[in-house]
Amino acid sequence: MESLEQNILKTKKRLLQMHFESGVGHIGGNLSCLDSLMVLYHRVLKKDDLFVLSKGHSAGSLYSVLWSLGRLTDEDLKLFHKEHTKLSGHPSPNWIQEITFATGSLGHGLPLAAGLALAKKLKKDSGRVFCLTSDGEWQEGSNWEALIFAVHRQLDSLTLMIDSNGLQGFGTTQEVASLNSLKEKFLSFGMPVEEIDGHDLKALEKTWGKKTRGPRAVIAHTEKGRGVSFMKNKMEWHYLPMNESQYRQALVDLDKEP
Amino acid sequence: MRNIFCDTLVKYAASPDFVFLTGDLGYNALEPLQKAAGDRFINAGIAEQNMVSVAAGLAHQGLKPWAYSIAPFIYARPLEQVRNDVCLHDLPVKLVGNGGGYAYGVMGGSHHAIEDYGILLSLLNMRVFVPAFGLDIPPMVEKLLHLTHPAYFRLGRDEKPKDLDIPGYAPWRKILTGQGPTILVAGPLAGGLLGAFKEIPDAKRPNTWVLTELPFETKTIPDEFLRDIAKSGHLAVVEEHVAHGGVGEMLGRVLLLTGKNPKRFSHFCAQGYLTGYYGSQNFHRKECGLTAENILKELE
Protein backbone atom coordinates (compact mmCIF):
# COMPACT_ATOMS: atom_id res chain seq x y z
CA MET A 1 0.00 0.00 0.00
CA GLU A 2 1.24 3.46 -0.89
CA SER A 3 2.49 5.50 2.06
CA LEU A 4 1.55 9.15 2.55
CA GLU A 5 5.17 10.07 1.78
CA GLN A 6 5.00 8.19 -1.54
CA ASN A 7 1.67 9.78 -2.33
CA ILE A 8 3.08 13.25 -1.62
CA LEU A 9 6.10 12.63 -3.84
CA LYS A 10 3.86 11.41 -6.65
CA THR A 11 1.57 14.43 -6.23
CA LYS A 12 4.47 16.90 -6.20
CA LYS A 13 5.69 15.40 -9.45
CA ARG A 14 2.21 15.66 -10.90
CA LEU A 15 2.07 19.30 -9.79
CA LEU A 16 5.35 20.03 -11.55
CA GLN A 17 4.23 18.16 -14.67
CA MET A 18 1.03 20.18 -14.77
CA HIS A 19 2.84 23.50 -14.37
CA PHE A 20 5.50 22.50 -16.90
CA GLU A 21 3.01 21.33 -19.51
CA SER A 22 0.95 24.46 -19.13
CA GLY A 23 3.95 26.80 -18.84
CA VAL A 24 2.71 28.26 -15.58
CA GLY A 25 4.61 29.82 -12.66
CA HIS A 26 3.66 30.26 -9.01
CA ILE A 27 5.48 26.99 -8.38
CA GLY A 28 7.41 28.08 -5.28
CA GLY A 29 4.34 28.83 -3.20
CA ASN A 30 2.64 25.66 -4.40
CA LEU A 31 5.52 23.55 -3.19
CA SER A 32 5.67 25.32 0.15
CA CYS A 33 2.08 24.37 1.05
CA LEU A 34 1.64 21.00 -0.65
CA ASP A 35 2.76 18.94 2.36
CA SER A 36 0.22 20.75 4.53
CA LEU A 37 -2.61 20.22 2.09
CA MET A 38 -1.80 16.56 1.45
CA VAL A 39 -1.82 15.80 5.16
CA LEU A 40 -5.00 17.80 5.64
CA TYR A 41 -6.89 16.16 2.78
CA HIS A 42 -5.62 12.60 3.23
CA ARG A 43 -5.50 12.36 6.99
CA VAL A 44 -7.68 15.00 8.59
CA LEU A 45 -10.61 16.34 6.58
CA LYS A 46 -13.93 14.58 7.07
CA LYS A 47 -17.24 14.81 5.25
CA ASP A 48 -18.54 17.85 7.13
CA ASP A 49 -15.26 19.76 7.09
CA LEU A 50 -14.58 22.68 4.79
CA PHE A 51 -11.40 24.15 3.38
CA VAL A 52 -10.83 27.61 1.91
CA LEU A 53 -7.69 28.33 -0.09
CA SER A 54 -7.08 32.00 0.58
CA LYS A 55 -3.74 32.05 -1.24
CA GLY A 56 -5.49 31.45 -4.54
CA HIS A 57 -2.21 31.58 -6.46
CA SER A 58 -1.53 28.12 -5.04
CA ALA A 59 -4.46 26.72 -6.99
CA GLY A 60 -2.04 24.23 -8.58
CA SER A 61 -1.43 22.55 -5.25
CA LEU A 62 -5.16 22.28 -4.57
CA TYR A 63 -5.82 20.82 -8.03
CA SER A 64 -2.97 18.33 -7.51
CA VAL A 65 -4.31 17.27 -4.11
CA LEU A 66 -7.77 16.79 -5.59
CA TRP A 67 -6.12 14.72 -8.34
CA SER A 68 -4.43 12.59 -5.65
CA LEU A 69 -7.88 11.98 -4.17
CA GLY A 70 -9.34 11.01 -7.55
CA ARG A 71 -11.58 14.09 -7.63
CA LEU A 72 -9.78 15.47 -10.67
CA THR A 73 -8.44 13.40 -13.55
CA ASP A 74 -5.34 13.63 -15.71
CA GLU A 75 -7.63 14.92 -18.43
CA ASP A 76 -8.71 17.77 -16.12
CA LEU A 77 -5.12 18.62 -15.21
CA LYS A 78 -4.08 18.70 -18.86
CA LEU A 79 -6.32 21.72 -19.30
CA PHE A 80 -4.79 23.65 -16.38
CA HIS A 81 -4.44 27.32 -17.35
CA LYS A 82 -5.56 26.61 -20.93
CA GLU A 83 -8.59 27.54 -23.01
CA HIS A 84 -12.01 26.20 -22.03
CA THR A 85 -10.87 24.99 -18.62
CA LYS A 86 -12.31 24.99 -15.11
CA LEU A 87 -8.75 24.92 -13.78
CA SER A 88 -7.93 28.60 -14.06
CA GLY A 89 -4.78 30.07 -12.57
CA HIS A 90 -6.74 30.99 -9.47
CA PRO A 91 -9.72 28.82 -8.46
CA SER A 92 -12.96 29.46 -10.31
CA PRO A 93 -16.39 29.26 -8.64
CA ASN A 94 -19.33 26.88 -8.52
CA TRP A 95 -18.12 23.71 -10.18
CA ILE A 96 -16.65 21.33 -7.62
CA GLN A 97 -17.68 21.03 -3.99
CA GLU A 98 -14.11 20.99 -2.68
CA ILE A 99 -13.43 24.47 -4.03
CA THR A 100 -15.69 26.34 -1.65
CA PHE A 101 -14.77 29.76 -2.98
CA ALA A 102 -13.05 31.27 -5.96
CA THR A 103 -10.10 33.19 -4.57
CA GLY A 104 -7.10 34.98 -6.00
CA SER A 105 -7.38 38.44 -4.54
CA LEU A 106 -5.65 38.12 -1.18
CA GLY A 107 -7.37 38.74 2.13
CA HIS A 108 -10.69 37.13 1.18
CA GLY A 109 -10.30 33.56 2.41
CA LEU A 110 -10.28 34.12 6.14
CA PRO A 111 -13.39 36.35 6.19
CA LEU A 112 -15.16 33.75 4.03
CA ALA A 113 -14.01 30.95 6.32
CA ALA A 114 -15.24 32.99 9.29
CA GLY A 115 -18.66 33.10 7.60
CA LEU A 116 -18.61 29.33 7.11
CA ALA A 117 -17.61 28.81 10.75
CA LEU A 118 -20.29 31.22 11.95
CA ALA A 119 -22.87 29.33 9.88
CA LYS A 120 -21.81 26.07 11.51
CA LYS A 121 -22.11 27.66 14.91
CA LEU A 122 -25.54 29.18 14.25
CA LYS A 123 -26.89 26.01 12.68
CA LYS A 124 -25.15 23.81 15.26
CA ASP A 125 -23.65 21.86 12.36
CA SER A 126 -20.74 19.51 12.89
CA GLY A 127 -17.47 19.83 11.06
CA ARG A 128 -14.49 22.12 11.04
CA VAL A 129 -13.35 24.93 8.79
CA PHE A 130 -9.74 25.28 7.64
CA CYS A 131 -8.35 28.29 5.84
CA LEU A 132 -4.88 28.52 4.31
CA THR A 133 -3.37 31.97 3.92
CA SER A 134 0.13 32.98 2.94
CA ASP A 135 2.25 35.01 5.33
CA GLY A 136 2.60 38.07 3.08
CA GLU A 137 -1.17 38.06 2.75
CA TRP A 138 -1.33 39.36 6.31
CA GLN A 139 -0.51 42.78 4.90
CA GLU A 140 -4.17 42.85 3.79
CA GLY A 141 -6.40 44.73 6.24
CA SER A 142 -9.42 42.50 5.70
CA ASN A 143 -7.55 39.64 7.38
CA TRP A 144 -7.28 41.64 10.57
CA GLU A 145 -10.98 42.47 10.42
CA ALA A 146 -11.68 38.75 10.15
CA LEU A 147 -9.26 37.91 12.95
CA ILE A 148 -11.03 40.30 15.34
CA PHE A 149 -14.37 38.82 14.28
CA ALA A 150 -13.29 35.19 14.64
CA VAL A 151 -11.85 35.73 18.10
CA HIS A 152 -14.75 37.87 19.28
CA ARG A 153 -17.31 35.36 18.04
CA GLN A 154 -15.22 32.43 19.31
CA LEU A 155 -15.65 30.52 16.06
CA ASP A 156 -14.66 27.17 17.54
CA SER A 157 -14.50 25.24 14.31
CA LEU A 158 -12.02 27.58 12.65
CA THR A 159 -8.37 26.70 12.08
CA LEU A 160 -6.27 29.34 10.38
CA MET A 161 -3.27 27.86 8.57
CA ILE A 162 -0.44 30.17 7.59
CA ASP A 163 1.99 29.00 4.94
CA SER A 164 4.90 31.04 6.21
CA ASN A 165 7.50 30.79 3.46
CA GLY A 166 8.86 34.29 4.08
CA LEU A 167 8.81 35.37 0.45
CA GLN A 168 6.29 37.46 -1.41
CA GLY A 169 5.91 39.10 -4.81
CA PHE A 170 8.81 41.52 -4.79
CA GLY A 171 11.05 40.54 -1.91
CA THR A 172 11.05 38.87 1.47
CA THR A 173 8.14 39.60 3.74
CA GLN A 174 10.67 41.03 6.16
CA GLU A 175 11.92 43.52 3.54
CA VAL A 176 8.61 44.50 1.94
CA ALA A 177 6.42 45.21 4.97
CA SER A 178 7.59 43.30 7.99
CA LEU A 179 5.00 41.43 9.98
CA ASN A 180 7.40 40.36 12.68
CA SER A 181 6.27 38.80 14.62
CA LEU A 182 3.04 37.46 13.23
CA LYS A 183 2.78 35.19 16.25
CA GLU A 184 2.91 38.10 18.67
CA LYS A 185 0.37 40.02 16.63
CA PHE A 186 -2.05 37.09 16.65
CA LEU A 187 -1.59 36.61 20.38
CA SER A 188 -2.24 40.27 21.03
CA PHE A 189 -5.54 39.87 19.13
CA GLY A 190 -6.46 37.02 21.46
CA MET A 191 -5.82 34.28 18.90
CA PRO A 192 -3.99 31.22 20.20
CA VAL A 193 -1.02 30.36 17.99
CA GLU A 194 1.08 27.30 17.36
CA GLU A 195 4.20 27.21 15.26
CA ILE A 196 5.24 24.07 13.42
CA ASP A 197 7.60 22.85 10.74
CA GLY A 198 5.33 22.93 7.71
CA HIS A 199 7.19 20.01 6.12
CA ASP A 200 7.13 17.69 9.14
CA LEU A 201 4.33 15.33 8.17
CA LYS A 202 3.83 13.91 11.65
CA ALA A 203 3.66 17.38 13.20
CA LEU A 204 1.24 18.49 10.48
CA GLU A 205 -1.06 15.53 11.04
CA LYS A 206 -1.04 16.02 14.78
CA THR A 207 -1.65 19.75 14.52
CA TRP A 208 -4.34 19.78 11.82
CA GLY A 209 -6.07 16.89 13.58
CA LYS A 210 -6.19 18.60 16.95
CA LYS A 211 -9.58 19.90 18.05
CA THR A 212 -9.53 22.98 20.21
CA ARG A 213 -12.07 25.14 21.96
CA GLY A 214 -12.17 28.42 20.11
CA PRO A 215 -10.43 29.43 16.91
CA ARG A 216 -6.71 28.99 16.52
CA ALA A 217 -3.88 29.93 14.20
CA VAL A 218 -1.06 27.67 13.13
CA ILE A 219 2.02 29.21 11.56
CA ALA A 220 3.59 26.52 9.43
CA HIS A 221 7.17 27.49 8.64
CA THR A 222 7.88 26.39 5.12
CA GLU A 223 10.32 26.75 2.25
CA LYS A 224 9.28 28.31 -0.99
CA GLY A 225 10.09 25.83 -3.74
CA ARG A 226 10.49 23.03 -1.19
CA GLY A 227 12.24 19.99 -2.61
CA VAL A 228 13.66 21.64 -5.73
CA SER A 229 17.24 22.82 -5.22
CA PHE A 230 17.22 25.77 -7.59
CA MET A 231 13.82 27.03 -6.42
CA LYS A 232 14.40 26.80 -2.70
CA ASN A 233 13.72 30.17 -1.07
CA LYS A 234 14.16 32.00 -4.37
CA MET A 235 11.75 34.83 -4.98
CA GLU A 236 11.73 34.46 -8.77
CA TRP A 237 9.97 31.10 -8.42
CA HIS A 238 6.94 33.01 -7.24
CA TYR A 239 6.50 33.77 -10.93
CA LEU A 240 8.64 31.73 -13.31
CA PRO A 241 7.52 28.74 -15.32
CA MET A 242 10.09 25.94 -15.84
CA ASN A 243 11.88 25.15 -19.06
CA GLU A 244 12.43 21.49 -19.94
CA SER A 245 15.86 21.10 -18.34
CA GLN A 246 14.65 22.79 -15.18
CA TYR A 247 11.66 20.47 -15.10
CA ARG A 248 13.90 17.40 -15.46
CA GLN A 249 16.22 18.68 -12.74
CA ALA A 250 13.26 19.37 -10.47
CA LEU A 251 12.04 15.78 -10.80
CA VAL A 252 15.53 14.51 -9.95
CA ASP A 253 15.66 16.80 -6.93
CA LEU A 254 12.32 15.59 -5.63
CA ASP A 255 13.56 12.00 -5.71
CA LYS A 256 16.51 13.03 -3.53
CA GLU A 257 14.20 14.43 -0.84
CA PRO A 258 14.49 12.56 2.45
CA MET B 1 -38.40 53.56 5.52
CA ARG B 2 -35.88 52.11 7.93
CA ASN B 3 -38.45 51.56 10.64
CA ILE B 4 -40.86 49.85 8.25
CA PHE B 5 -37.97 47.73 7.02
CA CYS B 6 -37.13 46.76 10.59
CA ASP B 7 -40.74 45.96 11.45
CA THR B 8 -41.06 43.86 8.31
CA LEU B 9 -37.92 41.87 9.00
CA VAL B 10 -39.02 41.22 12.59
CA LYS B 11 -41.82 39.07 11.13
CA TYR B 12 -39.26 36.83 9.44
CA ALA B 13 -36.64 36.82 12.17
CA ALA B 14 -37.71 33.45 13.58
CA SER B 15 -37.07 31.72 10.27
CA PRO B 16 -34.21 29.20 10.67
CA ASP B 17 -32.30 30.61 7.71
CA PHE B 18 -32.57 34.26 8.78
CA VAL B 19 -29.37 36.15 9.70
CA PHE B 20 -28.94 39.91 9.95
CA LEU B 21 -25.52 41.56 10.01
CA THR B 22 -24.91 45.21 10.72
CA GLY B 23 -21.73 47.22 10.48
CA ASP B 24 -22.39 48.72 13.90
CA LEU B 25 -25.22 50.90 12.60
CA GLY B 26 -28.94 51.03 13.24
CA TYR B 27 -29.01 52.62 16.69
CA ASN B 28 -32.51 53.69 17.70
CA ALA B 29 -33.99 51.83 14.76
CA LEU B 30 -32.98 48.17 14.61
CA GLU B 31 -33.40 47.27 18.29
CA PRO B 32 -36.72 45.42 17.71
CA LEU B 33 -34.99 43.26 15.12
CA GLN B 34 -32.06 42.69 17.45
CA LYS B 35 -34.48 41.44 20.07
CA ALA B 36 -36.45 39.27 17.65
CA ALA B 37 -33.45 37.69 15.92
CA GLY B 38 -31.39 36.95 19.04
CA ASP B 39 -28.09 35.32 18.09
CA ARG B 40 -29.00 35.71 14.40
CA PHE B 41 -28.53 39.47 14.77
CA ILE B 42 -24.79 39.95 14.34
CA ASN B 43 -23.10 43.27 14.94
CA ALA B 44 -20.02 42.64 12.81
CA GLY B 45 -18.35 45.83 14.01
CA ILE B 46 -16.88 48.58 11.88
CA ALA B 47 -15.40 46.15 9.40
CA GLU B 48 -17.50 46.06 6.26
CA GLN B 49 -15.09 44.04 4.12
CA ASN B 50 -15.22 41.22 6.63
CA MET B 51 -18.98 41.58 7.09
CA VAL B 52 -19.70 41.09 3.39
CA SER B 53 -17.39 38.06 3.10
CA VAL B 54 -18.88 36.58 6.26
CA ALA B 55 -22.31 37.04 4.69
CA ALA B 56 -21.06 35.15 1.62
CA GLY B 57 -19.85 32.34 3.89
CA LEU B 58 -23.22 32.21 5.63
CA ALA B 59 -25.06 32.11 2.30
CA HIS B 60 -22.75 29.32 1.10
CA GLN B 61 -24.06 27.26 4.02
CA GLY B 62 -27.70 27.80 3.10
CA LEU B 63 -28.51 30.78 5.30
CA LYS B 64 -30.14 33.95 3.92
CA PRO B 65 -28.07 36.83 5.26
CA TRP B 66 -28.90 40.51 5.20
CA ALA B 67 -25.93 42.88 5.58
CA TYR B 68 -26.78 46.43 6.61
CA SER B 69 -24.93 49.73 6.78
CA ILE B 70 -25.11 53.34 5.66
CA ALA B 71 -25.31 52.96 1.88
CA PRO B 72 -21.72 53.78 0.78
CA PHE B 73 -20.27 51.58 3.49
CA ILE B 74 -22.07 48.54 2.11
CA TYR B 75 -21.23 48.93 -1.60
CA ALA B 76 -18.15 51.17 -1.91
CA ARG B 77 -15.91 50.13 0.99
CA PRO B 78 -16.34 46.37 0.44
CA LEU B 79 -16.77 46.48 -3.34
CA GLU B 80 -14.29 43.70 -4.08
CA GLN B 81 -15.93 41.48 -1.48
CA VAL B 82 -19.30 42.13 -3.13
CA ARG B 83 -17.79 41.45 -6.55
CA ASN B 84 -15.75 38.32 -5.83
CA ASP B 85 -17.30 36.68 -2.81
CA VAL B 86 -20.97 37.42 -3.38
CA CYS B 87 -21.61 38.13 -7.06
CA LEU B 88 -19.09 35.80 -8.68
CA HIS B 89 -20.60 32.95 -6.67
CA ASP B 90 -24.16 34.20 -7.22
CA LEU B 91 -24.93 33.90 -3.52
CA PRO B 92 -28.22 35.21 -2.07
CA VAL B 93 -26.69 37.92 0.10
CA LYS B 94 -28.96 40.95 0.56
CA LEU B 95 -27.05 44.20 0.96
CA VAL B 96 -29.05 46.95 2.59
CA GLY B 97 -27.88 50.52 2.15
CA ASN B 98 -29.58 53.12 4.26
CA GLY B 99 -29.69 56.62 2.78
CA GLY B 100 -29.75 56.36 -1.01
CA GLY B 101 -28.77 59.46 -3.00
CA TYR B 102 -28.21 62.57 -0.93
CA ALA B 103 -30.34 61.30 1.97
CA TYR B 104 -27.62 61.91 4.54
CA GLY B 105 -27.59 65.55 3.45
CA VAL B 106 -25.19 67.78 5.32
CA MET B 107 -23.42 64.78 6.83
CA GLY B 108 -21.29 65.10 3.71
CA GLY B 109 -20.12 63.35 0.59
CA SER B 110 -18.69 60.33 2.42
CA HIS B 111 -22.23 59.41 3.45
CA HIS B 112 -23.95 59.98 0.09
CA ALA B 113 -24.79 57.20 -2.33
CA ILE B 114 -25.17 58.80 -5.74
CA GLU B 115 -23.40 56.12 -7.77
CA ASP B 116 -24.51 53.02 -5.87
CA TYR B 117 -26.73 51.14 -8.28
CA GLY B 118 -24.62 52.09 -11.30
CA ILE B 119 -21.61 50.46 -9.67
CA LEU B 120 -23.50 47.47 -8.34
CA LEU B 121 -25.41 46.73 -11.53
CA SER B 122 -22.12 46.41 -13.36
CA LEU B 123 -21.47 43.32 -11.22
CA LEU B 124 -22.57 39.83 -12.23
CA ASN B 125 -25.91 38.52 -10.95
CA MET B 126 -26.73 41.67 -8.96
CA ARG B 127 -30.30 42.98 -8.63
CA VAL B 128 -31.19 46.37 -7.20
CA PHE B 129 -34.36 47.34 -5.35
CA VAL B 130 -35.12 51.01 -4.80
CA PRO B 131 -38.37 51.37 -2.84
CA ALA B 132 -40.22 54.58 -3.64
CA PHE B 133 -42.65 54.58 -0.73
CA GLY B 134 -42.75 53.08 2.73
CA LEU B 135 -45.60 50.84 1.69
CA ASP B 136 -43.30 49.24 -0.92
CA ILE B 137 -41.08 47.78 1.77
CA PRO B 138 -43.11 44.73 2.90
CA PRO B 139 -43.76 43.33 -0.61
CA MET B 140 -40.16 44.05 -1.63
CA VAL B 141 -38.76 42.29 1.45
CA GLU B 142 -40.98 39.32 0.66
CA LYS B 143 -39.59 39.30 -2.85
CA LEU B 144 -36.00 39.58 -1.62
CA LEU B 145 -36.49 36.68 0.76
CA HIS B 146 -37.30 34.44 -2.18
CA LEU B 147 -34.61 35.80 -4.47
CA THR B 148 -31.76 33.33 -4.95
CA HIS B 149 -29.32 35.95 -6.23
CA PRO B 150 -27.38 38.87 -4.72
CA ALA B 151 -29.37 42.04 -4.21
CA TYR B 152 -28.97 45.61 -3.03
CA PHE B 153 -31.83 47.30 -1.19
CA ARG B 154 -31.52 51.08 -1.30
CA LEU B 155 -33.47 52.67 1.53
CA GLY B 156 -34.42 56.33 1.60
CA ARG B 157 -37.08 58.57 3.14
CA ASP B 158 -40.74 57.93 2.59
CA GLU B 159 -41.91 61.09 0.78
CA LYS B 160 -45.34 59.94 -0.34
CA PRO B 161 -47.96 62.73 -0.27
CA LYS B 162 -50.62 61.75 2.25
CA ASP B 163 -53.52 62.35 -0.11
CA LEU B 164 -52.12 60.36 -3.02
CA ASP B 165 -53.32 56.82 -3.63
CA ILE B 166 -50.60 54.46 -4.77
CA PRO B 167 -51.52 51.30 -6.68
CA GLY B 168 -50.43 47.89 -5.37
CA TYR B 169 -46.74 47.11 -5.59
CA ALA B 170 -45.18 46.47 -8.99
CA PRO B 171 -41.68 47.26 -10.31
CA TRP B 172 -43.23 49.67 -12.82
CA ARG B 173 -46.24 51.69 -11.70
CA LYS B 174 -48.12 54.41 -13.47
CA ILE B 175 -49.20 56.78 -10.74
CA LEU B 176 -50.46 59.82 -12.65
CA THR B 177 -52.00 60.16 -16.09
CA GLY B 178 -52.15 63.24 -18.25
CA GLN B 179 -51.50 64.66 -21.69
CA GLY B 180 -47.99 65.91 -20.83
CA PRO B 181 -44.62 64.21 -21.25
CA THR B 182 -43.88 60.72 -19.96
CA ILE B 183 -41.79 60.80 -16.80
CA LEU B 184 -40.06 57.85 -15.17
CA VAL B 185 -38.88 58.44 -11.60
CA ALA B 186 -36.67 56.05 -9.65
CA GLY B 187 -37.05 55.74 -5.91
CA PRO B 188 -38.37 58.03 -3.15
CA LEU B 189 -37.75 61.21 -5.13
CA ALA B 190 -41.06 60.29 -6.75
CA GLY B 191 -43.05 61.32 -3.66
CA GLY B 192 -42.40 65.04 -3.83
CA LEU B 193 -42.67 65.17 -7.62
CA LEU B 194 -46.00 63.34 -7.61
CA GLY B 195 -47.30 65.77 -5.00
CA ALA B 196 -46.54 68.68 -7.34
CA PHE B 197 -47.50 67.00 -10.63
CA LYS B 198 -50.93 65.92 -9.42
CA GLU B 199 -51.98 69.58 -9.10
CA ILE B 200 -51.29 70.27 -12.79
CA PRO B 201 -54.29 70.29 -15.16
CA ASP B 202 -54.71 67.14 -17.25
CA ALA B 203 -53.67 68.83 -20.51
CA LYS B 204 -50.15 69.39 -19.21
CA ARG B 205 -49.84 66.80 -16.41
CA PRO B 206 -47.03 64.31 -17.02
CA ASN B 207 -47.75 60.63 -17.28
CA THR B 208 -45.73 59.74 -14.23
CA TRP B 209 -44.28 56.29 -13.75
CA VAL B 210 -42.33 55.02 -10.77
CA LEU B 211 -39.62 52.41 -11.15
CA THR B 212 -38.33 50.36 -8.21
CA GLU B 213 -36.40 47.36 -9.58
CA LEU B 214 -33.24 47.23 -11.64
CA PRO B 215 -31.94 46.17 -14.04
CA PHE B 216 -34.66 45.84 -16.66
CA GLU B 217 -34.73 44.57 -20.18
CA THR B 218 -37.09 45.14 -23.09
CA LYS B 219 -39.40 42.33 -22.07
CA THR B 220 -39.88 43.67 -18.53
CA ILE B 221 -40.95 47.16 -19.62
CA PRO B 222 -44.76 47.46 -19.59
CA ASP B 223 -46.34 47.94 -23.01
CA GLU B 224 -48.34 50.81 -21.59
CA PHE B 225 -45.14 52.67 -20.76
CA LEU B 226 -43.92 52.25 -24.33
CA ARG B 227 -47.30 53.45 -25.61
CA ASP B 228 -47.08 56.49 -23.34
CA ILE B 229 -43.66 57.34 -24.76
CA ALA B 230 -44.90 56.91 -28.32
CA LYS B 231 -47.96 59.04 -27.64
CA SER B 232 -46.25 61.88 -25.77
CA GLY B 233 -43.06 61.79 -27.87
CA HIS B 234 -41.15 63.12 -24.87
CA LEU B 235 -39.54 60.98 -22.20
CA ALA B 236 -37.90 62.29 -19.04
CA VAL B 237 -36.02 60.17 -16.50
CA VAL B 238 -35.54 61.49 -12.97
CA GLU B 239 -33.21 59.84 -10.48
CA GLU B 240 -31.07 60.70 -7.48
CA HIS B 241 -28.05 59.01 -9.02
CA VAL B 242 -25.32 60.15 -11.39
CA ALA B 243 -25.89 59.78 -15.13
CA HIS B 244 -23.30 57.04 -15.59
CA GLY B 245 -24.84 53.68 -14.90
CA GLY B 246 -28.17 55.20 -14.00
CA VAL B 247 -31.73 54.52 -15.09
CA GLY B 248 -31.49 57.13 -17.87
CA GLU B 249 -28.61 55.33 -19.54
CA MET B 250 -30.21 51.96 -19.00
CA LEU B 251 -33.53 53.01 -20.49
CA GLY B 252 -31.84 54.82 -23.37
CA ARG B 253 -29.99 51.62 -24.30
CA VAL B 254 -33.11 49.48 -24.20
CA LEU B 255 -35.14 51.96 -26.25
CA LEU B 256 -32.41 52.24 -28.86
CA LEU B 257 -32.26 48.45 -29.11
CA THR B 258 -36.00 48.26 -29.66
CA GLY B 259 -36.16 51.25 -31.97
CA LYS B 260 -38.85 52.77 -29.78
CA ASN B 261 -36.87 55.82 -28.79
CA PRO B 262 -38.80 59.03 -28.16
CA LYS B 263 -38.41 62.20 -30.19
CA ARG B 264 -37.21 64.04 -27.12
CA PHE B 265 -35.33 62.77 -24.08
CA SER B 266 -34.56 64.63 -20.85
CA HIS B 267 -32.52 63.36 -17.94
CA PHE B 268 -32.54 64.81 -14.44
CA CYS B 269 -29.94 63.24 -12.19
CA ALA B 270 -27.41 63.76 -9.41
CA GLN B 271 -24.44 65.84 -10.47
CA GLY B 272 -22.19 65.68 -7.45
CA TYR B 273 -21.42 68.96 -5.70
CA LEU B 274 -21.75 71.69 -8.28
CA THR B 275 -20.93 74.64 -6.02
CA GLY B 276 -18.81 72.79 -3.48
CA TYR B 277 -21.26 73.67 -0.73
CA TYR B 278 -23.10 71.11 1.37
CA GLY B 279 -26.58 71.06 2.82
CA SER B 280 -29.71 68.99 3.31
CA GLN B 281 -30.93 66.38 0.85
CA ASN B 282 -33.25 69.01 -0.60
CA PHE B 283 -30.34 71.47 -0.95
CA HIS B 284 -28.45 68.98 -3.11
CA ARG B 285 -31.54 67.99 -5.07
CA LYS B 286 -32.21 71.66 -5.82
CA GLU B 287 -28.62 72.23 -6.87
CA CYS B 288 -28.93 69.35 -9.35
CA GLY B 289 -32.29 70.49 -10.64
CA LEU B 290 -34.11 67.56 -9.06
CA THR B 291 -37.14 69.62 -8.07
CA ALA B 292 -40.64 69.61 -9.52
CA GLU B 293 -40.37 73.31 -10.34
CA ASN B 294 -37.16 72.90 -12.33
CA ILE B 295 -38.26 69.71 -14.06
CA LEU B 296 -41.54 71.26 -15.19
CA LYS B 297 -39.70 74.36 -16.43
CA GLU B 298 -37.19 72.27 -18.39
CA LEU B 299 -39.92 70.13 -19.88
CA GLU B 300 -41.83 73.13 -21.26
The tens digit of pLDDT for each residue in A62-88 reads 999 999 999 999 999 999 999 999 999
pLDDT above 90 (res A23): yes
Q: Does B40 contact chain A (CB < 8 Å)? A: yes
Q: Is the pLDDT of residue A102 over 70?
A: yes
Report chain B's mean pLDDT, rounded to a whole number: 97
Average per-residue pLDDT for chain A: 95
Q: How many pairs of residues across A and B have Cβ atoms under 8 Å apart?
A: 98
Measured in angstroms, the CA of A33 and the nearest CA of chain B are apart by: 23
What confidence score (pLDDT) does residue A258 get?
A: 62
Q: What is the CATH number of the domain that holds A51?
A: 3.40.50.970
Interchain contact B54–A (C-beta under 8 A): yes
- Mean pLDDT, rounded, for B174-201: 96
Residue A148 is nearest to which of B16, B42, B47, comparing CB atoms?
Answer: B47
- Per-residue pLDDT tens over the stretch B67-123: 999 999 999 999 999 999 999 999 999 999 999 999 999 999 999 999 999 999 999
Q: Do B81 and A141 touch (CB under 8 A)?
A: no
Q: In chain B, whose CA is at the least distance from the CA of A140? A: B49
CA distance A208 to B202: 75
- For residue B14, the chain A residues in CB contact (below 8 A) are none
pLDDT digits (tens, 9 = 90+) for A112-149: 999 999 999 999 999 999 999 999 999 999 999 999 99
Does any CB of chain A come closer than 8 Å to the CB of residue B38? no
For domain B172-299, the CATH architecture is 3-Layer(aba) Sandwich (3.40)
Domain, as residue range, for A229: 4-256
CATH topology identical between B2-155 and B172-299: yes
Question: How many domains does one find in chain A?
Answer: 1
Residue A248 has pLDDT above 70, yes or no: yes
Pick from B40, B54, B80: which is nearest to A149 by CB?
B54
pLDDT above 90: residue B287: yes
Nearest residue on chain B to A141, alpha-carbon basis: B49
pLDDT band at A237 (very low <50, low <70, confident <90, very high): confident
Residue type, B222: P
**pLDDT tens digits along B234-263:** 999 999 999 999 999 999 999 999 998 899
Domain residue spans of chain B = 2-155, 172-299
In this prediction, residues B203-221 reach a mean pLDDT of 95
Cβ separation B50–A146 shorter than 8 A? yes
ipTM over cut 0.90: yes
Task: Judge contact between A54 and A29, C-beta under 8 A.
Answer: no
Q: How close, in Å, is residue A236 to chain B by CA atoms?
A: 28
pLDDT at A1 over 80: yes
Spell B193-210 as b/e; 16+ CB within 10 A means b.
bbbebeeeeeeebbbbbb
pLDDT of residue B216: 95
Q: What is the CATH number of domain B2-155?
A: 3.40.50.970
